[in-house]
Homo-oligomer: A and B are copies of this chain.
Amino acid sequence: MAEGRRGAARSETARLAILEATARQFAGSGFDHLTMEGIAADAGVGKQTIYRWWPSKAALVAEALIEGMLLPDRFVPADTGDIRRDLADWLDDLFAFVGDPAHDTLVRSLFAVAIEHADVGTRLRENLGTSLVAARMDSAVAAGQIPPDAPRTEIVELLVGGVVFRILNRTPITPDTSGRLVAAVLGA
């Protein structure tokens, strides 16, 4: 292999054990109670092995996110031909997840970290399916369901923002929440 490295290769076993321990502890007790020593002990790994490959706790979380260990891999909008319904369904999925009390610690910690660490934020946005929703909007334009000059970027932005605001605000979710939000941005 190209450049002649000597010595043992990076242990994939250790890498996964570390990320799994990270995910476990993060989901259980949140970012604040995440400790390098706890992860190392949980993963059965030396602390140095963590510091060798990751610069910070945020980096660990970001990678665990990428590996799909913290969130469903993606929230994917369907394409039934009815853009309103598809958007509302996607929002429902989102609200169901973030509104589940079992995920409360995880979700709050995750968004808090995302706000402070750009890499986690980028990754999280991706996991929420924003880019897929944007694509779905494009196809709705092509199908003539939305006027071409509709501010699509802003609409996606507002909808995801609405989700974040509900988390921030602890507003209880009702069955018609998604519909009302979609109506607010697409008109009645």
Structural contact, B157 and A168, CB atoms closer than 8 A: no
Tell me the minimal C-beta distance from A129 to chain B in angstroms: 14
User: Which of B155, B162, B168 is close to A115, meaning CB atoms less than 8 Å apart?
Assistant: B168
Say yes or no: B115 contacts A151, CB within 8 Å. no
Q: Which residues of A contact B (CB under 8 A)?
A: 30, 32, 108-109, 111-116, 118, 121, 124-125, 149, 151, 154-155, 157-171, 180-181, 183-185, 187-188
Contacts of A185 in B (CB 8 A): 158, 184-185
| Number of identical monomers bound together in the oligomeric complex | 4
User: Which of these, B32, B154, B160, contacts A181 with CB under 8 Å?
Assistant: B154
20 pairs, CB–CB < 8 Å, chain A vs chain B: A32-B116, A111-B115, A118-B170, A121-B169, A124-B168, A149-B188, A154-B181, A154-B184, A157-B165, A157-B166, A157-B169, A157-B171, A158-B158, A158-B161, A158-B181, A158-B184, A160-B161, A161-B163, A164-B164, A164-B165
